[in-house]
Structure 1
Amino acid sequence: TGATINVAETMQVGPNLADRYAQYAIPRNLDRAEMPVAQAASALGPAGLVGAAVYRRPVGVVACITSYNFPLVNVAGKLAPALAMGNTCIIKPAPQDPLGVLLLGRAVEEAGFPPGVVNILTSAGTEVPAALVRSPDVNMISFTGSSAVGARIMADGAPSMTRTLMELGGKGALVMTDDADVGKAVGAIASVWGFHSGQICTAPTRVICHRSKVDELVGSLTAVAGMLKVGNATERDTLVGPLVSEQQRDSVEAFIRGGVEAGATLVCGGERPDLPGYFVVPTLLADCTAEMHVVREEAFGPVIVVLAHDDDDEAVALANDSEYGLFSYVYSADNARALWIAQQIQSGNVALNSVVPHPEAPFGGFKRSGIGRDRGVAGLEAYTEVQAISWQA
């Protein structure tokens, strides 16, 4: 999938995966259908809710359609909250890497889940997921993948009003102010190259750097790119593995060529290494402008683009000049300034001087990056329907 052995062991399986399930575990018997949801006092109801009760019911049958880049973690992020809220699930893993999910099915059986609570369907084509989306017996689709496929799922499910939770593509903006710590930002940006070879929707691939810092940033990133070993993903010293398929490699290379043809400067990378597999070496494009295709669309590969800005307002405008809004980043020595910029960015998630999301915070996107939220309380409520029962006082 592009994950090196080190990334796979630390991020895909082991404690990280177990934590995703443990996060939603309920340590006591609790019939949520019997407990009304507390309604806080508000301007609409100063005494809270009187003469009615609100319940959250399970949606029913949830189809979890996942992407190839996090085959087990993506499933955990859907399966755990859906089960915790009383639903049954059908898992449809990506066709590129279904084996880990099939092993998960064996673990589900060994854990004693009743037959039919967790189901796994695999397929190489689109027939199976299309049937799930159109089935009147499926109450909800929880999907992680591209924005184009997400839009198609929503259209196909519209006649039956199938509920959807969409975690879709991104073109992560990383804003660097004139007082930003370049070294710290470089570490975050370079993670695009070494983490799944850029095949991650939250990656900070679109760097919006203050003009006074551009030369230092580009020089530092170029130096880092030269130190990253590209090669066999099973070797411990490999930092950049292959892309998932020939088709994906060719697509990424087309993005790079298009950027250069549009006027971007190819600082490093862009070539195909003499290695067995579908590799693209870490690539950096400078002197980019907002209208370039490589700036506007998700390449899903080890490609970083750099745009210059002259002040915070221009940086915000560039960050928001996108159809995506999944995850953005702000690097500044002034925390108040960083927070102000973050609040202006049209993005479901913004990290300040960091690339690490909070595990209990809602996760999801604005615009073409999705609908609904995973994680935390919002991630539980996403797998429920709200029912109000009222009576005459």
Structure 2
Amino acid sequence: MSNSTMTLLREQAYVGGRWIVAEDKARKWVNDPATGETIGHVPDLNAAYIDGAIDAAHHAFSTWRHTSVVERADKLLAWYDGMHEYAEELARLMTWEQGKPIGEARGEVDYAASFLRWFAEEGRRANGSTIPPENTQIAIGTVKEPVGVAAMITPWNFPLAMITRKVAAALAAGCTTLVNPANQTPFCALSLAILAERAGLNNGEFNVVTGAGKLFSERVCATDKVRALSFTGSTTVGRQLIRQSADTVKCTAMELGGNAPFIVCDDIDIDAAVEGAIAAKFQTSGQDCVAANRIYVHRSIYEDFIGRFAERMNAMKVGNGFDEDTEIGPLINEDAVEKAQSLIDDARDQGARIIGREQGAAPGSQFFMPTLVADFTPDMQVSSEESFAPIAPICSFDDDDEVIAAANDTIFGLASYVYTHTDARIRKFMRGLEYGMVGVNTMDITGPHVPFGGIKQSGLGREGGHVGMDEYLETKYYCIGGLPAV
């Protein structure tokens, strides 16, 4: 890859409809995780620039909030069309800076674009209500109004979809937006800005503010000009952002950490369950908040499942994401590799069986070979920590109540999965699992129509679905008196 082949690569921030370079020349460098080679740089904006971006979004809000739902929809749909026109370039840019296998990157482009279309249509349905009055000489009801400027801090693992899922909802609601993308993947965000500009979102409705997330969060949380904050990332950072937002009482939406259980009962087709577990575990090389983090298999099929899972896992190709055959790409940095190895070492020291190819076979310093950790126990770090790596901890269980209790024994509650063909079991697991999302006999649980989100310390609010705009709307009640008697 080279910069000359990329028409959507821009080494500038996008603020108030203008492309800017910091006057102090401060930069954040971006590297290809597969090769370590430098892709380019983006401005590391200081506090003054961030404040300028806040002002631009605040100024734009006074106009954007009064645009018709038809105009908002037209611009979101034009943006959607632009993403499809440049779909292959967007996918290749994603693979270049994030490392994701190119097939998965193409899938994410479609997924990301789908939120633009969904919320373009959903914006027409931000309905208020008419309330029957007790006094016939008054009229009462509600209207939905945009909350104001919305700031978004987005992660590197889904560098297009996590932006459009937030921004499309906010723009459709009539809010203006400030996006601070992850420093590892800013070019995907800036490519969206190019296409948004072409779609007519060029007056401060959509801003991409590159640079340190800590400084960005401090500035947006401290000002009343920003009324909503949406974050996808770790629970540790989410807690801090909630604290920072308290003084200005912001609307906060948090999609935080996960520790997803994947439960395989004894009444299923083992091969189907293995394929589901493989997909749930290894998408985005395991760097996914809804990835299966703990796999529980009924004791009667436990060893059979392990054998088939290991065979399928060991056949997966690990390599550069631009190779069409690659199924597992690099991790985002070497720290992630070190963490993955520490989880394996801890499990091995406590008696787990470690199954997989030697790590010495990895094609580079930021790759980690997929590994099965058999017979994990609750005391092992892999049981409680989100690995964000291609590590599959597996243990056995004997009865349903036991495995539900084990699955729920975590502060997290984002996604969960269960494979069973028994109706009564399906109902039991669906209600008993303390998670915001439960996938039954499938790991394909996301989409623009889905209210994505978790409970407990996995977050606040929902993204997507018909409730996705709620994070960016206020309900205003009205009471009109003095009506003539009927």
- The equivalent of 1:158 in structure 2 is 246
- The equivalent of 2:112 in structure 1 is 17
User: Counterparts of 1:166-245 in structure 2 under 5 Å?
Assistant: 166-192=254-280, 194-245=282-333
Native 8 Å contact 2:261 2:416 kept in 1: yes
Native 8 Å contact 1:52 1:388 kept in 2: yes
Instruction: Tell me by how many angstroms 1:193 deviates.
Output: 5.2
Native 8 Å contact 2:173 2:473 kept in 1: yes
Structure 2 residue 395 is the aligned partner of structure 1 residue 307: yes
- Identical amino acids, percent of aligned pairs: 33
In structure 1, distance between residues paired with 2:102 and 2:143 = 45
Instruction: Tell me by how many angstroms 1:110 deviates.
Output: 0.9
Structure 2 residue 431 is the aligned partner of structure 1 residue 343: yes
Instruction: Tell me by how many angstroms 1:276 deviates.
Output: 2.6
Q: Structure 2 residue aligned with 1:130, among 218, 223, 230?
A: 218
Instruction: Tell me by how many angstroms 1:284 deviates.
Output: 0.6
Instruction: Tell me by how many angstroms 1:274 deviates.
Output: 4.3
Q: Structure 1 residue aligned with 2:352, among 251, 264, 267?
A: 264
Q: Which amino acid aligns with 1:140?
A: A
Summarize the Cα distance change of 1:321–1:194 in structure 2 as closer, same or farther, 3 Å threshold: closer
In structure 1, distance between residues paired with 2:270 and 2:410 = 24
Summarize the Cα distance change of 1:272–1:250 in structure 2 as closer, same or farther, 3 Å threshold: farther
Native 8 Å contact 2:181 2:210 kept in 1: yes
Which structure's residues are more often helix, by fraction? 2
Instruction: Tell me by how many angstroms 1:290 deviates.
Output: 2.0
Instruction: Tell me by how many angstroms 1:124 deviates.
Output: 4.2
Instruction: Tell me by how many angstroms 1:308 deviates.
Output: 1.4
- The equivalent of 2:13 in structure 1 is none
Q: Which amino acid aligns with 1:22?
A: R
Computing the radius of gyration from Cα coordinates, the structure with the larger value is 2
Summarize the Cα distance change of 1:31–1:178 in structure 2 as closer, same or farther, 3 Å threshold: closer
In structure 2, distance between residues paired with 1:125 and 1:207 = 33
Summarize the Cα distance change of 1:348–1:38 in structure 2 as closer, same or farther, 3 Å threshold: farther
- The equivalent of 2:94 in structure 1 is none
**Per-residue Cα deviation, 1:202-246 (whole angstroms, up to 9, x for no partner):** 011211111111101110111011111111111111111100111
Instruction: Tell me by how many angstroms 1:391 deviates.
Output: 4.8
In structure 2, distance between residues paired with 1:31 and 1:334 = 38
Runs of 4+ in 1 over 6 A off after TM superposition: none
Summarize the Cα distance change of 1:312–1:194 in structure 2 as closer, same or farther, 3 Å threshold: closer
- The equivalent of 1:361 in structure 2 is 450
Q: Which moved more, 1:109-118 or 1:84-93?
A: 109-118
Instruction: Tell me by how many angstroms 1:385 deviates.
Output: 1.4
Native 8 Å contact 2:234 2:256 kept in 1: yes
Q: Which amino acid aligns with 1:375?
A: G
Structure 2 residue 91 is the aligned partner of structure 1 residue 3: no
Structure 2 residue 469 is the aligned partner of structure 1 residue 380: yes
- The equivalent of 1:390 in structure 2 is 479
Q: Which amino acid aligns with 2:259?
A: K
Q: Structure 1 residue aligned with 2:339, among 246, 251, 265?
A: 251
- The equivalent of 2:157 in structure 1 is 69
Structure 1: segments with no counterpart, 5+ residues: none
- The equivalent of 1:334 in structure 2 is 422
Instruction: Tell me by how many angstroms 1:259 deviates.
Output: 1.7
Q: Structure 2 residue aligned with 1:319, among 400, 407, 417?
A: 407
Q: Which amino acid aligns with 1:37?
A: S
**Per-residue Cα deviation, 1:86-117 (whole angstroms, up to 9, x for no partner):** 10000111100100111111111111124111
- The equivalent of 1:54 in structure 2 is 142
Structure 2 residue 364 is the aligned partner of structure 1 residue 276: yes
Q: Which amino acid aligns with 2:116?
A: Y
In structure 2, distance between residues paired with 1:156 and 1:358 = 30
- Aligned partner of residue 469 in structure 2, secondary structure: helix
Structure 2 residue 238 is the aligned partner of structure 1 residue 143: no
Instruction: Tell me by how many angstroms 1:178 deviates.
Output: 1.6
RMSD: 2.2
Native 8 Å contact 2:122 2:172 kept in 1: no
Task: Please report the TM-score for the alignment, with normalisation by the length of structure 2.
Answer: 0.74
Native 8 Å contact 1:58 1:86 kept in 2: yes
Native 8 Å contact 1:273 1:280 kept in 2: no
Instruction: Tell me by how many angstroms 1:192 deviates.
Output: 4.6
In structure 1, distance between residues paired with 2:373 and 2:391 = 8
Summarize the Cα distance change of 1:266–1:108 in structure 2 as closer, same or farther, 3 Å threshold: same
Summarize the Cα distance change of 1:115–1:319 in structure 2 as closer, same or farther, 3 Å threshold: same
Instruction: Tell me by how many angstroms 1:388 deviates.
Output: 1.7
